[in-house]
């Protein structure tokens, strides 16, 4: 699920409106490592994949649904909600066919609706497994928000269900479809900084009390699951390899009602096979922080904000980097649509989400035992 | 010893010339924690402490000696060198009395020279213990460059020698006398960021091959001793408390002649009693990096460059902070002079240097055993 950026949320949201569209094709992705962004391709005209939004919370309503108008390969066709009244109103707002409004109870009926190609699961993570599995079993491709699910076991069940149904599964790692992040990854992969030596990534904000995010059953965990996962995912896609060891500490502000069920601040260190080390952090009691930097032998890069809804800024060798504008939300959806319509591999598949959750489980374990954990 | 900032050295050096003078008094320092900067005081006119520079390398010639002209309480009176010709020339350049030129062999003769109050030891760290002990035994106060010495045992011997001789010992942690760092410490101590939650500090550069810094006998260690100590010292003075545990990894670029005797890249995590954690790093194979940031509940601060010779920039809550100009080199020397002339405790005493070396020993140990080490 998306982050709420505390003091800088408004700033971070600014800049998404009016951005042009970058469509990421998915042909040939099999030849690319998971860390390499796909090349942009001209979008074929014509058929669009039909999307159903499952879960009508703030992220769905505020970020995802408004961005279908920026999509070239994707169209919003249905909503699936636990709130009939809200579903009806939202469907009306977007001019959806009244028959394309579903509840969590009659979700399976989407099986017989040819308008729907994909279900985008945007509920709290505690429900991701159930809705992903049910959607796949109803014969639909699935996009599922991050974090993929509370446990690696859940993630594997989701991957298995989609595979068994012959359907694609994408995790909503929108930063992988965002131009500044794509440029940063390119710089790392092409050796523009020389050999990489160090990565630092810090994400946090001050969470209000009373949200589902601080209820373990719904959230699956605290800041690490929600916002620290950006630090983790970025470390992996910037390094371009998978960590072999993690060490972590957790500290909760004492007597703070927000941290009765979930963790507050996590610091974690990832050791990668090449020798690169990533010092990362995550917090729920912080003034807003959303940044990473990479230190190479011959240059550095820094992104701040790095993984926000908009307004990203990237510097390389201390100089601002201009990148072509692009709408990360539309690009993420159009990528899955292109994979469905044209064939190809998903850039951020279930395996990517599973890997983050595996590492988060190791982070929790390391903090518990006070020692590094091998991955 | 000071850092050479790789690609940004020239940039970092820029800005030191022409800075005004901030004299830090030392009255009442006993009531302040080691992390709190002393208040500026009006400098009494009149007597100045006499300084002898021991070791005429790049830092002495390029940074220290030229800055005596900015001092109000300190005057350059003597040089002590292993190179008679260089000593003679430098003494001539600075108009020193010919009798005030000493060699390492006849160092003990300073005992009978009333012009000299302090010896500033600016040799490679492998020689710091010998020259500090000999200077104290010759009845002089000592300022010793960082890192204090290769081992905690050496540091303790230096502290003991100065104590026995009844002389003050200052470690050359110039950043503690630098206005941006003083302002950052003040913000942390006064709660301007709310409760502190996280500190990140990264220092590194690309070291040329063939310097004494890559010879263990002279350097005492690699990047950690030379440049990473800025990350460590900053984490301590920003946190305002002492760490209770450290975890570290070390990685050397393979087959690199610079890293036959000393380490290249160190990542280390310090856990403080309040719950603050500092993610820090140090490198000798990096494009230049010299920064820290602090994340509090209510605000963040960032300094970059943070601990350079000049050109520091500080932001708080993302806004540039203007601080009164000040010459860190002159302020460091005038502080010790004020303690000598007026009485008072040294802000960066031998115990401060010893503490860094103790932690560095634990960093090396943690990296060796692959587990955190209690402090």
pLDDT digits 0-9 by tens, B39-86: 444 445 579 999 999 999 999 999 999 999 999 999 999 999 999 999
The Cα–Cα gap between B2 and B13 comes to 12
Reduced 3-state DSSP string for chain A? CCCCCHHHHHHHHCCCCCCCCCCECCCCHHHCCCCCCCCECCCCCCCCEEEEEECCCHHHHHHHHHHHHHCCCEEEEEEEECCHHHHHHHHHHCCCCHHHEEECCCHHHHHHCCCCCEEEECCCHHHHHHHHHHHHHCCCEEEECCCCCCCHHHHHHHHHHHHHHCCCEEECCHHHHCHHHHHHHHHHHCCCCCCEEEEEEEEEEECCCCCHHHCHHHHCCCHHHHHHHHHHHHHHHHHCCCCCEEEEEEECCCCCHHHCCCCCEEEEEEECCCCCEEEEEEECEEEEEEEEEEEECCCEEEECCCCCCCCCCEEECCEECCCCCCCHHHHHHHHHHHHHHHCCCCCCEHHHHHHHHHHHHHHHHHHHHCCCEEC
Which of B59, B177, B230, B237 does the annotation list as catalytic? B230
Cross-chain residue pair A253–B275, CB shorter than 8 Å: yes
Task: Tell me if chain B has a CB within 8 Å of the CB of A17.
Answer: no
Q: What percent of chain A has pLDDT above 70?
A: 88
Test the B interface: residue of A222, A239, A275 with most B CBs within 10 Å? A275
Question: What is the pLDDT at residue B22?
Answer: 34
Confidence of residue A45 (pLDDT cuts 50, 70, 90): low
For chain B, the average pLDDT equals 90
CA-nearest of A232, A215, A38, A51 to A146 is: A232
Task: Tell me if chain B has a CB within 8 Å of the CB of A210.
Answer: no
Cβ contact B234:B27 at 8 Å: no
Q: Is A288 left (phi over 0), alpha (psi -120 to 50) or beta?
A: beta
The Cα–Cα gap between B284 and B252 comes to 9
Superfamily of domain covering B178-323+356-374? Dihydrodipicolinate Reductase; domain 2 (3.30.360.10)
Chain B residues with CB inside 8 Å of A280's CB? 279
The pLDDT of residue A8 is above 50? no
CB within 8 Å of A113: residues ≥ 6 apart: A78, A99, A100
Which of B146, B167, B284, B309 does the annotation list as catalytic? B146
Confidence of residue A46 (pLDDT cuts 50, 70, 90): confident
Phi, psi dihedral angles at A307 (to 5 degrees): -130, 25
Question: What is the pLDDT at residue B45?
Answer: 59
pLDDT digits 0-9 by tens, A247-289: 999 999 999 999 999 999 999 999 999 999 999 999 999 999 9
Chain A residues with CB inside 8 Å of B259's CB? none
The pLDDT of residue B20 is above 70? no
Phi, psi dihedral angles at A185 (to 5 degrees): -65, -45
The pLDDT of residue B24 is above 80? no
Task: Tell me if chain A has a CB within 8 Å of the CB of B311.
Answer: no
Cβ contact B168:B346 at 8 Å: yes
- List the alpha helices (DSSP H) in B190-308: 216-219, 223, 229-239
**Average pLDDT over every residue of A337-352:** 98
Q: Are strands A118-121 and A101-103 parallel, antiparallel or unpaired?
A: unpaired
Q: Hey, how many other C-beta atoms are within 10 angstroms of the C-beta on A197?
A: 28
Residue range(s) in chain B whose domain bears CATH number 3.40.50.720: 6-175+330-349
pLDDT digits 0-9 by tens, B355-371: 999 999 999 999 999 99
CATH of A179-323+356-374, one of 3.30.360.10, 3.40.50.1820, 3.90.550.10, 3.40.190.10: 3.30.360.10
Candidate from A32-46, A285-299, B318-332 with smallest mean pLDDT: A32-46
Task: Tell me if chain B has a CB within 8 Å of the CB of A279.
Answer: yes
Candidate from A13-22, A237-246, A318-327, B159-168 with smallest mean pLDDT: A13-22
CA distances from A291 to A5, A181, A294, A306, B371 (A): 12, 11, 10, 5, 28
Residue range(s) in chain B whose domain bears CATH number 3.30.360.10: 178-323+356-374
Reduced 3-state DSSP string for B150-178? CCHHHHHHHHHHHHHHCCCEEECCHHHHC
pLDDT digits 0-9 by tens, A157-215: 999 999 999 999 999 999 999 999 999 999 999 999 999 999 999 999 999 998 999 99
Whether the CA torsion A338, A340, A346, A348 is positive or negative: it is: positive
The pLDDT of residue A52 is above 90? yes
What ipTM was reported for this prediction? 0.90
Q: What is the CATH number of domain A15-175+330-350?
A: 3.40.50.720
Task: Tell me if chain A has a CB within 8 Å of the CB of B271.
Answer: yes
Give rounded-to-5 percent helix, strand, coil for chain B.
40, 25, 40
Catalytic residue status for B364: no
Question: What is the pLDDT at residue A75?
Answer: 98
Cross-chain residue pair A197–B296, CB shorter than 8 Å: no
Task: Tell me if chain B has a CB within 8 Å of the CB of A14.
Answer: no
CA-nearest of B184, B183, B179, B237 to B22 is: B179
- The CATH T-level fold of domain B6-175+330-349 is Rossmann fold (3.40.50)
The pLDDT of residue A122 is above 90? yes
Cα atoms in the 13 Å half-sphere on the side-chain side of B91? 23
Cross-chain residue pair A286–B193, CB shorter than 8 Å: no
Question: What is the pLDDT at residue B46?
Answer: 73
Cross-chain residue pair A277–B370, CB shorter than 8 Å: no
- List the alpha helices (DSSP H) in chain B: 9-13, 58-59, 84-93, 128-137, 152-165, 179-189, 216-219, 223, 229-239, 328-342, 350-369
Count Cβ–Cβ pairs < 8 Å, chain A vs chain B.
132
The pLDDT of residue B30 is above 70? no
The pLDDT of residue B4 is above 60? no
The pLDDT of residue B23 is above 50? no
B278 by DSSP, 3-state: which? strand
Q: Closest to A202 (Cβ–Cβ): which among B200, B267, B370?
A: B200
pLDDT digits 0-9 by tens, B292-316: 999 999 999 999 999 999 999 999 9
Question: What is the pLDDT at residue A11?
Answer: 37
Confidence of residue A133 (pLDDT cuts 50, 70, 90): very high
Cross-chain residue pair A287–B194, CB shorter than 8 Å: yes
Higher pLDDT, A43 or B141: B141
The Cα–Cα gap between A53 and A16 comes to 20
Question: What is the pLDDT at residue B230?
Answer: 98
Task: Tell me if chain A has a CB within 8 Å of the CB of B269.
Answer: yes
Q: Closest to A287 (Cβ–Cβ): which among B283, B298, B371?
A: B298
Task: Tell me if chain A has a CB within 8 Å of the CB of B267.
Answer: yes
Residue range(s) in chain A whose domain bears CATH number 3.40.50.720: 15-175+330-350
> Would you tell me the crossing angle of helices A152-165 and A350-369 to the nearest 10 degrees?
170
The pLDDT of residue A10 is above 90? no
Which of A59, A146, A167, A292 does the annotation list as catalytic? A146
Question: What is the pLDDT at residue A25?
Answer: 40
Chain B residues with CB inside 8 Å of A281's CB? 198, 200, 277, 279, 295
Distance from CA of A172 to the nearest CA of B (A): 28
**Average pLDDT over every residue of A67-76:** 98
Give the DSSP per-residue string, B77-90.
EEEEES-HHHHHHH
Task: Tell me if chain B has a CB within 8 Å of the CB of A212.
Answer: no
β-bridge partners, A121: A54, A144
Cβ contact B108:B85 at 8 Å: no
The CA angle A34-A292-A192, to the nearest 5 degrees, is 65
The pLDDT of residue B33 is above 80? no
CA distances from A282 to A65, A290, B199 (A): 28, 10, 12
Question: What is the pLDDT at residue B61?
Answer: 98
Spatial strand order in the sheet of B169-171: B101-103, B74-81, B49-54, B118-121, B141-144, B169-171
Q: Closest to A267 (Cβ–Cβ): which among B269, B281, B317?
A: B269
CA A52 to chain centre: 18
The pLDDT of residue A31 is above 70? no
Catalytic residue status for A230: yes
């Amino acid at each position: 699920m998306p982050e709420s950026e505390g003091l800088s949320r408004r700033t971070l949201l600014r800049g998404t409106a009016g951005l042009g569209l970058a469509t990421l094709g998915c042909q040939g992705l099999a030849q690319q490592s998971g860390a390499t962004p796909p090349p942009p391709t001209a979008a074929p005209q014509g058929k669009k994949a039909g999307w159903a939004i499952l879960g009508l919370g703030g992220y769905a309503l505020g970020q995802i649904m408004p961005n279908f108008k920026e999509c070239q390969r994707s169209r919003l066709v249905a909503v699936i909600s636990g709130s009939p009244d809200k579903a009806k109103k939202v469907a009306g707002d977007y001019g959806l066919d009244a028959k394309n409004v579903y509840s969590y109870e009659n979700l399976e009926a989407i099986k017989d609706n040819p308008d729907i190609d994909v279900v985008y699961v945007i509920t709290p993570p505690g429900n991701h497994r159930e809705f992903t599995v049910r959607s796949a079993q109803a014969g639909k491709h699935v996009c599922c928000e991050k974090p993929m699910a509370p446990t690696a076991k859940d993630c594997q069940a989701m991957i298995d269900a989609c595979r068994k149904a012959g359907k694609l599964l994408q995790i909503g790692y929108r930063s992988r479809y965002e131009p500044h992040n794509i440029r940063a990854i390119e710089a790392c992969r092409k050796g523009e900084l020389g050999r990489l030596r160090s990565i630092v990534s810090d994400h946090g904000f001050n969470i209000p009390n009373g949200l589902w995010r601080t209820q373990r059953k719904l959230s699956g965990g605290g800041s690490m699951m929600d916002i620290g996962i950006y630090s983790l995912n970025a470390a992996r896609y910037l390094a371009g390899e998978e960590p072999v060891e993690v060490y972590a500490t957790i500290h909760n502000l004492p007597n703070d009602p927000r941290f009765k069920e979930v963790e507050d601040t996590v610091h974690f260190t990832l050791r990668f096979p090449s020798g690169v080390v990533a010092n990362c952090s995550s917090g729920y009691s912080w003034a807003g922080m959303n940044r990473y930097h990479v230190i190479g032998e011959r240059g550095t890069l820094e992104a701040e904000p790095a993984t926000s809804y908009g307004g990203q800024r990237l510097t390389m060798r201390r100089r601002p980097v201009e990148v072509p504008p692009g709408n990360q939300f539309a690009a993420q959806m159009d990528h899955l649509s292109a994979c469905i319509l044209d064939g190809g591999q998903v850039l951020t598949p279930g395996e990517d989400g599973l890997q983050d959750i595996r590492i988060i489980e190791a982070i929790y374990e390391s903090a518990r035992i006070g020692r590094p954990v091998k991955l």
